[in-house]
Amino acid sequence: MRDHKVSYHRALLLHPSVRQEAIKGIEACEALLGPKAAVRIVQGLRTFPEQDALYAQGRTTPGPIVTNAKGGASLHNYGLAFDFALLYDRDNNGSYEQLSWSLTEDIDADKKKDWLEVVEFFETLGWGWGGRWKTKDNPHLEKGFGMTWREMLDKYNKGDFIKGTKYLNI
Ligand SMILES: [Zn+2]
């Protein structure tokens, strides 16, 4: 059985304008990929302090550099991005325990790369893929509704939020 608890928990912290689309999109992609694959959201919303801590890594704290974005410079900070990976049930025992970042796997042998099937599905819904960036970020999908992160940060700093939340009015 595919277990969506982790993904749904993360999806429910995304911006309200993309939440249902992320959940429905994952289910639609799984239908495309067949019964041996599941789509997992590995990260969704990242708070400003979390982003700053990530930026510090490899610069002022130990570890490798993993991002060039400070707090506010990533769409994750607004709940408008998520990173995904694929889970495969290679043994056919229903456990989907093998997390995969392969861009080339084709588990259902439909001559389409699973990773790109997910990417292309979300692209048709207006999402952007980090795999098309100069510095590739293959797990990354985001939906900015035509706004840059600077415009989002400006709104954020003005407190232009959906009432009672820290999600931007967009
Ligand atoms: Zn990302």
Measured CA distances, 28 to 21, 99, 105 (Å): 10, 19, 18
- Between the CA of 93 and the centroid of ligand 1 the distance, in Å, is 30
Cβ atoms of 51 and 70 closer than 8 Å = yes
Question: What local confidence, expressed as pLDDT, does residue 154 receive?
Answer: 98
Cβ–Cβ under 8 Å, residues 138 and 85: no
- DSSP tag of 27: H
- Domains along the sequence of the chain with CATH: 5-158 (3.30.1380.10)
| Residue 33 pLDDT greater than 90, yes or no | yes
Q: Quick one: pLDDT at residue 96?
A: 87
Q: How far is the CA of 153 from the centre of ligand 1 (A)?
A: 17
pLDDT beyond 90 at 127: yes
Amino acid letter, 151: E
Write out pLDDT tens, residues 37-75.
999 999 999 999 999 999 999 999 999 998 889 999 999
Over range 101-107, report the average pLDDT.
97
Ligand 1 centroid to residue 75 C-alpha, Å: 8
